[in-house]
Every structure is written in structure tokens, then in C-alpha cells.
Amino acid sequence: MSTHLILEATYFYHIFSANIGWLFAATIDTVFHIVLLSVPIFIHQRSLMRYLYIFLVLVSFSFAQAQLTVQSFAPADNSTNVPLTTSISLTFSSALDTTYQLGADVGIFWNLEGSPVRHYSADLRTVTFDVLLSPASVYVFCVYFARAQGGGTLQIPVGFMFTTGSSFPPYSVSGNVLSGATGVPPGNALVILSTTPVTGGPPNPVSGAVADGVGGYILPHVANGTYYPVAAKDVNGNGNIDPSEGDAVAFGDPVIVNNANLTGVNLTFASFAPVPFTAAIHIADSISATLPLDKSLRYLGGYDVDTLGRAGDWNFLYLKNSGVQGYEIKVTSRELYWGTLDSSSCWWLSHARSLSNPGLAANSSVFLASVENSGGREFRTQKPGSNVRFQCQINLGDLTATSFWPLITDPTLDYWGARYSFGYDSSNHWVEVSSKNFIGNYFTGAIILVTDVKTAGNAALPLEFSLSQNYPNPFNPSTEIRFSVPREEWTTLKVFNLIGQEVATLVQGRVPPGQHSIRFDAGSLSSGIYFYRLASGAQAVTKRMLLMR
């Protein structure tokens, strides 16, 4: 190869590496040198430059499309004397996909009060939150997820802090995030210091930071007190941090800050294995033995279920024979919880038959094997798009009060039910793309009935405006709401409490015609009855749902 040709190739290499950054340059360095060394064998040398140029242009363009960065934010990090009425803004490198409505626990951790008003700039690159702050308070704002219209996602989280006071607390907590057995690189992990233990819900941050490239972190501006450190990484890039879905999370022991900085606080990512059916029953039986004798199991459901029948979450709901008191036992891959249900939460349970001995039912692993062999495997392995993920939920017992009811042939019998679906997370809600239901024999797990694949969206446009009953109902902490619109119009789907206060906005914008499914997460709400209202064009409809803790 001539010296001139090598210099020409080297010129192209350095021009591209300068434009796309060290990370991509390191990635293509090996490819570049292999191509140069292989040229005498495979291709005419002069033609190489044309192919190499095209290769670098295409790959660097694809790489650039995949990147999304925060270019600026306000208030600036470490700002003091921030006005009590102010706006928090984030400007990104590309126009945002606004189906992911950034906010509390939706791509962002913050300790803001109330529900800030969110709006976007005309070019959709800047999102602004109008907020009302408290005097002499420190605020934490950590962004870990956003999606561009072109499909790229935020590569590195961003964290900043500001205060309405004249100064910050003087101490810090520092250490390292470690991969542990997960193998997840700890670099750029989000690290939060919470005032409360993080057990299934979001942290209440007093300080936040993004770890460096090898996992080192410093949490600044910490006052004296007891805190709970947690590190997290949105591994699957869906906008939710959920260890049952493969995201990396590390929970540290409580730390006490007492007039000094704390160092060496290491946080190790841990794996959260799904819970087998028999183990969940054993745990629930042990705890239910401590509850009053005059109660019966009325509901059993598994969520985030794998093909071996193991669930990330198992819910057992009990009702006293008098019908005025209920209990919940929750066995998950992350926590064990039990508590009472209020009287309004018991109403739905009173309409379900008792499930006397779930130990007599077929194991969920047997039922899921039957599901897999009856069309489930085919459905699960034919992913309808690159940006969707698979989800499975199962129920056992009286299914007449669930979304499986149209499939029940004998309402006096108990059944196994499974729902396979593909979808994606939007603003902390599940948007279903396609689904398939299975009904199985309670004792053997043999499949009795299978539905055809139901596809949402433009593939099956509805003829009318409609809002379906949420499922499951009652629910804890999330439920699915389905609706359809006959034409593209400005549409809202909002949730209200009993006194008419708006507690959540699930959809707000122009929605394409078709069938849609939204996952509503009520993790921050208390038990009780809520109403959800769909409005599109001149039409509106409201339905009721029940949250049971």
C-alpha cells in the first residue's frame, strides 16, 4: 500500500474520530487497522478509500443517532438563593419523544413538592417544570432516562442540586458502586441518598450524583442525620428502574452523618431472583397463620412471570368472613410485605369465591409449560418490534371478576389464567402492542382455551370511542387501562380521587386511531376508590377502579 494511501486513510480516521468522540473512535480503531492490513488481499487499494469513507459515514451517523445528551439545565448545579417560584429546565441534544412524559419517577428522581406543571419547547428539545419551592430547602434533580424521536436514549445520567437558602449543608458521603455478581458495569450509575428505606417504592432523595466511569461517587450537601444509600442503573433502557426486569440496583446499609464526611460507603449491585410458586405459597401460609382464623384467600396473582412460572411479584389477598376486614401478603423478588386493607378495598374481594388450598392446584411451572406448548412460545419468540418487551401475568382461582371472564366456561370452577403480552413503557405506564390469553385446568394446568393474538394500534382500528375496565381491579400497585379512539384527536386520560382532585395524567396529546393500553402505577397513592376519565374530541367517559394496599 502506498504511503499516500495510508496517509489518506489515516486522515479520514482522525477526522471521524474527532467528530464522534473517543468512545466510538476506540470502537472502530480495531476495524480500521484490520481493514488496512487486509487490503492487499481483498480489494483494490484505491477503491478502499471510497468503501472506508462510506463505512465511516454510515456508522458514525448511526452512532450519532443513538446518542442523546443533556446539553444544559437550570438552575445551575450548586445554585443558592433560588427563587421560591421558579422553573427547572433541561435542554437535550435532540427532539424528545414526548410519549415518555418525563416527571417524578419517570426518568427523573427528585424531591420536589406537589405535581409541577410540565411543558415542552416548540422544537421539543427543552422540557420545563414550573415549580413552587420551600424556603431554605435543598433540592435534588437526577435525570436517568429520556428518549429522542429518532429512538436514541440518554446515555449518561445527569444530576444537579440547588437550594433556596444561602448555603448548603457541609458534609458528603462517598464510596464506590460495585458490579457484584451481576456483571453490570458500575460506571455512570445513579446514586441517591434517601431519608427513608427504599422498599419497593422510589427514594426520597436528599442528595444525588452520577458515579464516574469506574463507579466512584461523592454525594454532596448532606446534613447530619440517618440516610439510606441506593445505586441504580436502567440496564434495559425502558425508563423505569425495576430490578425484576433486569435493572441493576444496590441497597446500602443505613449511614449516619454526624459532623463529618463519610467515606468508603460501597454499594454492590445485587440480583433479584424471581420467586417460585411453591415458595411464595409457603411464605404466605406462614404469615397468614398469624392472621385471624375467620379469613379466606380470595385472590392470588403473579406478575413479571418467567417461563418457569416464577414471578417477580406474588399477591395474596384475604378477606374476613364478615367482609369488613381484608389483608394483603406480598411476596416479591425484592421485599416481603403484609398489612391490612381498608373497608372500601374489601368490596371487590367479597365478590370472589374463596380459594381454600392453592397447594392442590397445578404448579405454575406446569401451567406455564402448557402455555408455552399451546402457542405461548410462538407468541413470545415472535417479537413484534425492536422497542418492545415481553410481559406475563398469571392468576389462580375465581377468574370471573378478572379480564379472563369472557373465556370462563363454568363460573363455579377455579382456573389458571395467563396473559402473554408485548409492549413498552411510556411515562411509567405499560403500553400494550399485542397480547394472547390462556385458560388452564386448576388441578392439572392443561390448557382449556386460548385466544387469538390481539393486536393494538392501527392494525385493528376500532369503530367507536371506548374505555375498558382496568385490569387487575382491585390492583396494587399497578393496573392496565385500555381505550380506543376512532380518529386522531387531542386525547387525555386522567385519574382523580374521590373528592375530584386530579392525581395523575396518563395521556395528554394527539393520539393515533386504534386500540391503546396504558399501565397506571399508583405506588405513591393511598388505598381507596379512584376514577379514570378518558376525553377525546367531544367525547368523554369515566370509570371507577380500586387500589388496595
Q: What's the mean pLDDT in 122-135?
A: 93
Kindly report the average pLDDT of the chain as a whole number: 81
Residue in the structure block whose three cell numbers are 373528592: 499
pTM: 0.54
Greatest mean pLDDT among 396-400, 414-418, 518-522 lies in 414-418
Q: Do domains 70-268 and 457-547 have the same CATH topology?
A: yes
Distance CA 128, CA 117 (A): 8
Q: Which of 166-180, 353-367, 386-400, 478-492 has the lowest mean pLDDT?
A: 478-492
Least confident of 96-105, 165-174, 232-241, 465-474: 96-105
Task: Give the pLDDT of residue 240.
Answer: 67
Whether the CB-CB separation of 153 and 68 falls below 8 Å is answered with yes
> Burial of 227 by CB count in 10 Å (0-12 exposed, 13-18 middle, 19+ buried)?
buried
Residue that the C-alpha cell 415518555 belongs to: 100
In angstroms, rounded to a whole number, what is the distance separating the alpha carbons of residues 252 and 265?
Answer: 8
Residue with more model confidence, 30 or 193: 193
What is residue 22's predicted lDDT score, i.e. its pLDDT? Answer: 33
Cβ-proximal residues to 57 (8 Å cutoff; 6+ apart), any chain? none
pLDDT band at 456 (very low <50, low <70, confident <90, very high): low
Gyration radius from the chain CA atoms: 26
Could you tell me what percent of the chain has a pLDDT over 90? 42
What are residue 232's phi and psi, to 5 degrees? -150, 155
pLDDT band at 26 (very low <50, low <70, confident <90, very high): very low
Give the model's confidence band at 97: pLDDT under 50 very low, under 70 low, under 90 confident, else very high: confident
Residue 354 has pLDDT above 60, yes or no: yes
Question: Do residues 120 and 98 touch, judged by C-beta distance below 8 A?
Answer: yes
pLDDT band at 444 (very low <50, low <70, confident <90, very high): very high
C-alpha cell at 251: 441497597
> Measured between alpha carbons, how far is 317 from 296 in angstroms, rounded to an integer?
9
Give the span between the Cα atoms of 167 and 170, in whole angstroms.
Answer: 9
Q: What is the architecture of the domain spanning 70-268?
A: Sandwich (2.60)
Q: So what's the architecture of 457-547 in CATH?
A: Sandwich (2.60)
Measure the CA–CA gap between 305 and 311, rounded to whole angstroms.
4
Q: At what angle do helices 22-42 and 3-20 cross, to 10 degrees?
A: 150
Where are the chain's structural domains? 3-67, 70-268, 277-425+434-450, 457-547
